[in-house]
Amino acid sequence: MNILVINCGSSSLKYQLINSDTEEWIAKGLCERIGIDGSQIVYQKAGGEKETTVSPMPDHTEAIRLVLEALTNEMTGAIKSLSEIDAVGHRVVHGGEKFASSTVITPEVIEAIKECNDLAPLHNPANLIGIDACQKLMPGVPMVAVFDTAFHQTMPAEAYMYGLPYSYYEKYKIRRYGFHGTSHSFVSKKLAEDLGKKPEELKVIVCHLGNGASVSAVKYGKCVDTSMGLTPLEGLIMGTRSGDIDPAIMEFIAHKENKSIDEVMTLLNKKSGVYGLSGDFSSDFRDLEDAYNKGDKKAEIAIKTFCYRVAKYVGAYTAAMNGVDAIAFTAGVGENCAIVRTLVCEYLGYLGVKLDEEQNHKRGDDTVISTADSKVTVMFIPTNEELAIARETLALV
């Protein structure tokens, strides 16, 4: 079966066509600057080179039309006709409390996703536009929504409630939801498989460290806590997001710098994190590591503060689960940045974590980076959210 995976943002759209039998991608790419001047589509067929074509895309329907055209192109297409697309899996950011698992898209599901728009005003409307555009261009093809929040719906109330008046939870559904759920689910299952165990036998901490970053506690296969909250701003220090701060800092900055709430929010989302800490130098750990190695003090502070926060969450989640059997690092930084893993694990001696530095400096597929006598197994495991979405879609259609 061929499954098209669509991840629609407000001005971009990532896509991947996956053969569910081999679990390999057949073609992939992205559309950028949708609705803005200079839109372009990047397309790559398995075994082929990336091709970039500049083409006007006034809206997402046009972007998806161009994706389908590229996939079926006579010369370079990966398939002959649209009839070879058997199902579409859509990434949807916020499923609120309505969706604890992926679901086949029906008119009722679309209405329920719309009701969650308030909780993710930048993301959900874009996801819905992607669904609508696909339904117009591929009528009759089954479609599935896979939610970033769904995996975290198993959290108990003590993990998802904030210390705010209860009425805000009742009125506005203000609570912790968590994100990156597809990745936390995929990596925690993959880790169990790699160790020859069932997810039900393990207490696992997954550190998804990319540009956006979050940690989750997965006890016996179910998420019991995660670091992102009502929005992706909470928790770890990220590429450009502050993560946890004293909420009173918002008012303090607003007064000192004469900023509105919206402006402070932009500061916390786009100008903070390791980018802000490094003195507006870079949000990319490759740049930060280079600068750190050359003795740059702010890059050092950025990396060390980032790692310290990760280690604090690992400690907190070990307490939440009353123990931990394995820790997995994933996403851009978690998979590739050995120094981050070293600095995090240096705090974990009390858990009996012992890192094997030679293993830690390897690259590639799932790798155990702890020593044979380490009490907790530590691994890096490349995440694959598109494959996870394709699997969920296959299971439902």
C-alpha distance from residue 136 to each of 7, 96, 113, 252, 355 (Å):
17, 26, 18, 49, 52
By three-state DSSP, how is residue 69 classified? helix
What lies within 8 Å, CB to CB, of 247 at 6+ separation is none
Residues in the chain: 397
Find the shortest distance in angstroms from Cβ 338 to ligand ADP: 8
Find the shortest distance in angstroms from Cβ 335 to ligand ADP: 8
C-alpha distance from residue 141 to each of 99, 105, 394 (Å):
22, 11, 13
| DSSP per-residue string spanning 165-205 | -HHHHHHH--S---S-HHHHHHHHHHHHHHTT--GGG-EEE
d(CA 379, CA 382): 10
- Active site positions, annotated: 148
Q: What residue has token string 């970053």?
A: 213
Is 202 or 379 the residue whose CB approaches ligand ADP more closely?
379
Q: Check: CB of residue 243 under 8 Å from CB of residue 234.
A: yes
201-235 burial: b if 16+ Cβ within 10 Å, else e: ebbbbbbbbbbbbbbbbbbebbbbbbbbbbbbbbb
Residue 29, class by beta-carbon neighbours within 10 Å (0-12 exposed, 13-18 middle, 19+ buried)?
Answer: buried
Is 236 or 394 the residue whose CB approaches ligand ADP more closely?
236
Find the shortest distance in angstroms from Cβ 278 to ligand ADP: 12
d(CA 331, CA 382): 6
Q: Indicate the angle between helix axes 285-293 and 338-345, nearest 10 degrees.
A: 70
CA–centroid distance for 232 within its chain: 10
Find the shortest distance in angstroms from Cβ 188 to ligand ADP: 17
Find the shortest distance in angstroms from Cβ 337 to ligand ADP: 4
Find the shortest distance in angstroms from Cβ 177 to ligand ADP: 17
Find the shortest distance in angstroms from Cβ 336 to ligand ADP: 3
Residues lying near ligand ADP in the complex (CB under 6 A) are found at 210-212, 239, 283-286, 331-333, 336-337
Show the tokens assigned to 241. 């997001």
Is 203 or 208 the residue whose CB approaches ligand ADP more closely?
208
d(CA 95, CA 99): 5
Residue 90, class by beta-carbon neighbours within 10 Å (0-12 exposed, 13-18 middle, 19+ buried)?
Answer: buried
